[in-house]
Structure 1
Amino acid sequence: MKSSPYTRSVLLAFTLCITLYKAQVGGSAFVPARCSCPATYTNMRLKLTDFTVISKGSHCSADEIIVRLERNNKEVCLSPEGPRGKRLLKCWNRIQENGGNKKKCLRRRTRKQRKRSGPGKRRTTS
């Protein structure tokens, strides 16, 4: 059975379409070419609504923490070396291992209350 050049070109075009369709349907991941956070804040006292951690890799030599502020819904970068950054990074790693809700990481820590002298009594100074 002889195939004409027209049949071969149609078959080639069909194969090319199928290949491109399969490549498009397959999961493609965005890989940044450089660090997303050129400048970071060491400590931030504002309330946060969400955060994302980008692990270090070939694109950047350090972990990146991108937080969304509650006040103006702006995204800023938080340094993983600061106290809040370390806490968010630790919580993120714990979530990745065990699963969980990342909203727990955004809650502010409460300070421990001082012990009162006696049940229900306040210390008074005279």
Structure 2
Amino acid sequence: MSNELTREIIGAAIEVHRHIGPGLLEAIYEECLVSELQRKGLKLSNQHSLPLTYKGKQLNSVYRLDLLVENQVIVELKSVDNLSGLHKAQLLTYLKLARLRYGLLLNFNVPVMRKGIVRMLND
């Protein structure tokens, strides 16, 4: 992942947060972030279905990624008081299942957006 791509995603998140602030539902942030990223000309899929297999068998259940940007970065959105280890584990699991290396965990329920950004790598 290029630093430029993550910078663009983070910049878009900061722009959304600057305009509407903390305290809203995750779905609102998702809709606004999708709009910002599309305005930047980035290819993305929101509520992207990620099939789930167990011991080689395709399950009926799927994971839903909040955003998949340029088929390279999974972006998981939150609007919570504090990010927990469970939120980070969720994103890491998504990265492993999708066989992708880079993820961003963005919590919009913070006074300043930069305090709600976690970069993750699936090594």
The reply to whether TM is greater than 0.5 is no
TM-score (ref. length: structure 1)? 0.19
Which protein is bigger by CA-based radius of gyration? 1
TM-score (ref. length: structure 2)? 0.19
Q: Which has the higher contact order (CA 8 A, sep 6+)?
A: 2
**Which structure dedicates a bigger proportion of its chain to helix?**
2
**Which structure dedicates a bigger proportion of its chain to strand?**
2
